[in-house]
Amino acid sequence: MKKLALALCVGVAGALPVCAEQVVDLAGIWSVQQVEGKAAAIEMRVPGDVHTALLKAGRIPDPYFGRNEEKVQWVGEAEWVVSRDFEVPAELLAKQEIILRLEHVDTFCTVEINGQKVGETGNRFRRYDFDVKEFLKPGRNTVTGTFWSAEKMGAALKAQQPFPIPTLAHKDIQFVRKPTCNGGWDWGISLMSAGFAGPVKLIGYDAARIDYVYCEQKHGENSCTVDVFVEARMVAEGTQTLNVQIGEVQVTQAFEVVEGDNLFAVSLTVDNPKLWWPNGEGAQHLYGMKVTLGDATFERKLGLRTIEVVNKPDEGDKSDRPGMCMTFRVNGADIFCKGANWIPCDAMLAGQTPERYRDLLTSARDANMNMIRLWGGGQFEADEFYEICDELGLMVWHDFMFSCSLYPSDKAFLAEVQAELAHQIRRLRDHAAIALWCGDNECIGALKWFEESRKNRDLYLINYDRLSRVLAEAVKAYDPTRMFWPSSPCGGPGDFSDAWHNDSRGDMHNWNVWHENKDFAEFYKFRPRFCSEFGFQSFSSPDVVKTFCPPEHRNPTAPDFEHHQKNDGGNARIMETMARYFRFPDTFEDMLYLSQVQQAIAIKTAVEGWRRLQPRCMGTLYWQLNDNWPVASWSSVEYGGKWKHLHYHARRFYAPAAVVTIPVEDGGKTNHEIWVVNDYAHDIKADIALDTWTFGGRKVATRKLTKEVAARSAIKVETVKSEDFGTPEERMDRFVALELKATGNNMIDTHRNAFFFNAFKKCELADAAVTATPAEKNGRFEVTLQTDKPAFFVWCNVADTPGEFSDNSLTLLPGQPVTLTFTPKVKMSLDEFRKNLTVTHLRKTYR
Ligand code: BMA
């Protein structure tokens, strides 16, 4: 720990003026060359990676196309030298100390300046500061990074282990501190990336270098006291002035410092603080925060709020043990968490840009999500990711980077983990959005997956515990304000039971439907406290399929198309499910469409079923938000940012006020429970209209229900009997459309839903004629949809144009036209909009 600097009770007028620190950013164009290769050096952008550089130079085919993945595997086995020349200004060289600061280096790199080694990296999740003053010279300098093959390093580290460490991952990646999914995953291409994925900077200073700033918030009646801690390296002992400003409040204090590492602490009180709230709960107020110490400055945004995870025994259930809730409480309010799981947004590092983050996270926010789970098989993301989550009100459930594996617990490995967490937790802990530190993804469950650990559980349990303790201790040391959740899924701190199938304690991963091939209704059998993973796959849309699959392979079992399915048997499962619920589609495009429809229904079934269980269930995070290359997967947003059907449904099934119907069996008959979920912090009046329609388009009956629904609650409004909607024969030709009008607190929300009495394949859906009338209004595009007969999962698409509709994949009823807006992310004319717009619906998928 750093030495605590002493506050001086003296004025600061006598402090010496200092020149600002000097920063030379080495981002930009570097060159890259294979160590053993003969080919000439090519350009490489930093931050960036070798694969992207080779692709841009035409040295490798597009890894995302066809089966090219196989053709580029050699890149990860090779060694690469990247370098650039740069000017060292005299002002930099004049500084007392100069460091080269590297973040997100992927992964094993020997760094040289002017041919002399300045340091080595070996952990993607650490930050490296190398003293480089002695290696620099005036004028032109050269920096070189030699990247050693992480794949070969993994194999070498494996050989040093005293006992086997089994994994579901590939390329021995569990021995390397690098995203576990880099070697390939059940949705992921295998690309063993190499490169400088983050900032590369020279920092020179005469007085101080700020390493970390973090705060502790103490919320009172009408004020918040913020204890600010600054960890800094001081060049010399003496007196230094620290100034901290949060919003309009500031404090300046003189400190007596020692040479080397120092820890400063000051306190500020913000009166009547404007609080930060998750999306949908209130504003995301962020205060500007600035720290100045000697010649160093540090700036960030700070959200003031309390956040806690309630995990205490309550209602017993099924087992003889009490249940353990998992409830996120923000500013005293229990929040139902709505969201999805996040994986790295591109398998090539250069594609992981702030623009991508913003696009995907905005899509999450726009689908009424308030939480993202940053999954443990991926990576600690760049600063911008967390800044955007703060800004958009997306709470982050943050796994540490361990997934689906057993991991080593030797001294060297644990020391790496300790060092990475010491950095990451201090770097990230002040983000208002971060709600929880979680040890890993499915590593407790993994103890049962492998023969080695089944046979010798004691050994592997102790091995697991050694690592888990390092994680727990790191949270205690570096962020005691947050809970450490040992693993996802688990019952909670101290509960290491496998919560995979346990719905009464903590979080669960519910994979009965996809991985165990059960019907969608299986979701209703579980009553989770918090479901942090459940998913169903779909294919990419035609627009995305075109980007990776040549026309002759656009067939579900053709090699190029199958190559973009990484879960064994995944395509067969998608098609077998279609056969269960739908008439088999005519064309390849219909099949793509239908795969997305059934995915949306599966996840809607789960979320609606579980949202209504609040406060027993307090969160659903489906698997998964995004993709890292174009692939058949569980994502709701395709690679490139296009929303699948599921994402439009998510916006509706995560709406703050929603009407939900649940089928319940009652003595061989099916009844329908009508529920209203109200996530608002105020009561609502729910007016519900249930319209019974024939598929031919005749409205048979209307029924009205009204109910007061308390703030943040779900209530069963009524149970209606199937026979109330007609005889079994009549019901073969009927469905029910619901409309909720939720009023209260000067707002009015409309939410629509529908339920069916039979599987779609059994219904004689009418061949509805849907017309689309495009128009342009105030620079945006509109399309008005009308139909002569009920049409389901009506899907508008603007070919090859990034952008989203205000709604999509919807039920369209005769006499009830709907106008949608389309917001393109590129410039387009009304003519192009008209030309590229297509509309289809479920009945169009078969003759
Ligand atoms: C989960 C995840 C991932 C995986 C997904 C789909 O359990 O944690 O490991 O991609 O299932 O199989």
Cα 304 to Cα 155, 217, 228, 230, 429: the distances in Å are: 46, 7, 13, 18, 13
Paired with 87 in beta bridges are 140
In this prediction, residue 10 has a pLDDT band, given cuts at 50, 70 and 90, of very low
Cβ–Cβ < 8 Å for 449, 168: yes
Could you tell me which of 765, 755, 759 has the C-alpha nearest to residue 720?
A: 755
The Å distance, Cα 654 to ligand 1 centre, comes to 22
Tell me, using a 6 A CB cutoff, whether residue 187 lines ligand 1: yes
In this prediction, residue 497 has a pLDDT band, given cuts at 50, 70 and 90, of confident
The Å distance, Cα 117 to ligand 1 centre, comes to 41
Tell me, using a 6 A CB cutoff, whether residue 804 lines ligand 1: no
Tell me, using a 6 A CB cutoff, whether residue 442 lines ligand 1: yes
The Å distance, Cα 156 to ligand 1 centre, comes to 27
- In 3-state terms, the chain is what percent helix, strand and coil (to 5)? 25, 40, 35
In this prediction, residue 11 has a pLDDT band, given cuts at 50, 70 and 90, of very low
Residue of 182, 185, 186, 538 to test ligand 1 pocket, by largest number of atoms within 8 Å of CB: 186
Two tokens, residue 171:
């390329």
Which tens digit of pLDDT belongs to each residue from 220-253? 999 999 999 999 999 999 999 999 999 999 999 9
* Rounded average pLDDT over 2-23: 57
The CA-to-CA distance between both ends of the chain, in Å, stands at 72
**At how many degrees (to 10) do helices 354-366 and 383-392 cross?**
30
* pLDDT-above-90 percentage for the chain: 93
In ligand 1, which atom is closest to the CA atom of 375? 8
Tell me, using a 6 A CB cutoff, whether residue 404 lines ligand 1: yes
Could you tell me which of 67, 411, 371, 346 has the C-alpha nearest to residue 179?
A: 346
Please give the Cα distance from 256 to 237 (Å, whole number): 7
Tell me, using a 6 A CB cutoff, whether residue 185 lines ligand 1: yes
In this prediction, residue 7 has a pLDDT band, given cuts at 50, 70 and 90, of low
Please tell me the predicted confidence (pLDDT) of residue 493: 93
Cα 2 to Cα 80, 212, 262, 264: the distances in Å are: 37, 11, 5, 9
Cα 512 to Cα 269, 509, 525, 534, 665: the distances in Å are: 50, 9, 10, 8, 20
In this prediction, residue 458 has a pLDDT band, given cuts at 50, 70 and 90, of very high
Please tell me the predicted confidence (pLDDT) of residue 275: 98
Q: What's the mean pLDDT when you consider all of the chain?
A: 95
Consecutive H or E run containing 59: none
Cβ–Cβ < 8 Å for 189, 629: yes
Cβ–Cβ < 8 Å for 772, 783: yes
The Å distance, Cα 503 to ligand 1 centre, comes to 18
Which tens digit of pLDDT belongs to each residue from 131-147? 999 999 999 999 999 99
Please give the Cα distance from 801 to 453 (Å, whole number): 50
Please give the Cα distance from 340 to 540 (Å, whole number): 18
Please give the Cα distance from 478 to 486 (Å, whole number): 16
Tell me, using a 6 A CB cutoff, whether residue 622 lines ligand 1: no
The Å distance, Cα 243 to ligand 1 centre, comes to 46
Cβ of 657: how many Cβ atoms within 10 Å? 22
Which pTM was predicted? 0.97
Give the start-end residues of each E strand in 585-668: 619-622, 657-666
Residue of 397, 533, 538, 629 to test ligand 1 pocket, by largest number of atoms within 8 Å of CB: 533
Could you tell me which of 61, 22, 70 has the C-alpha nearest to residue 201?
A: 22
Return all residues near 143 (Cβ < 8 A) that are at least 6 apart: 26, 83, 84, 86, 100, 111, 112, 113, 200
The Å distance, Cα 173 to ligand 1 centre, comes to 17
Q: Whose CA is nearest to atom 6 of ligand 1?
A: 186
Residue of 404, 603, 624, 625 to test ligand 1 pocket, by largest number of atoms within 8 Å of CB: 404
843 DSSP 8-state letter: G
User: Is residue 187's pLDDT more than 90?
Assistant: yes
| SS (HEC) of 442-480 | CHHHHCCCCHHHHHCHHHHHHHHHHHHHHHHHHHHHHCC
Q: Whose CA is nearest to atom 4 of ligand 1?
A: 186
**At how many degrees (to 10) do helices 457-478 and 411-428 cross?**
30
The Å distance, Cα 623 to ligand 1 centre, comes to 7
Q: What are phi and psi of 61, to 5 degrees?
A: -75, 165
User: Is residue 19's pLDDT more than 80?
Assistant: no
Sort strands 337-342 and 371-374 into parallel, antiparallel or unpaired: parallel
**At how many degrees (to 10) do helices 570-581 and 588-611 cross?**
80
* Rounded average pLDDT over 259-284: 98
User: Is residue 621's pLDDT more than 50?
Assistant: yes
The Å distance, Cα 784 to ligand 1 centre, comes to 39
In ligand 1, which atom is closest to the CA atom of 185? 10
Please tell me the predicted confidence (pLDDT) of residue 9: 39
In this prediction, residue 81 has a pLDDT band, given cuts at 50, 70 and 90, of very high
**Length of the chain, in residues:** 847
Task: Specify the 3-state DSSP secondary structure of 694.
Answer: strand
Paired with 153 in beta bridges are none
In this prediction, residue 12 has a pLDDT band, given cuts at 50, 70 and 90, of very low
Cβ–Cβ < 8 Å for 598, 573: no
The Å distance, Cα 627 to ligand 1 centre, comes to 13
* Rounded average pLDDT over 302-310: 97
* pLDDT-above-70 percentage for the chain: 97
User: Is residue 194's pLDDT more than 80?
Assistant: yes
Two tokens, residue 191:
């690309």
* Rounded average pLDDT over 537-562: 98
Please tell me the predicted confidence (pLDDT) of residue 17: 43
The Å distance, Cα 476 to ligand 1 centre, comes to 28
One-letter amino acid for residue 427 of the chain? R
Q: In what order do the strands lie in the sheet with 371-374?
A: 484-485, 434-438, 395-399, 371-374, 337-342, 619-622, 530-533, 507-509
Please tell me the predicted confidence (pLDDT) of residue 500: 81
DSSP string over 364-408:
HHHTT--EEEE-TTS-PPPHHHHHHHHHHT-EEEEE-S-BSB---
In this prediction, residue 496 has a pLDDT band, given cuts at 50, 70 and 90, of confident
Tell me, using a 6 A CB cutoff, whether residue 209 lines ligand 1: no
Residue of 440, 442, 565 to test ligand 1 pocket, by largest number of atoms within 8 Å of CB: 442
Please tell me the predicted confidence (pLDDT) of residue 6: 67
Cβ–Cβ < 8 Å for 293, 264: yes
The Å distance, Cα 82 to ligand 1 centre, comes to 34
In ligand 1, which atom is closest to the CA atom of 535? 6
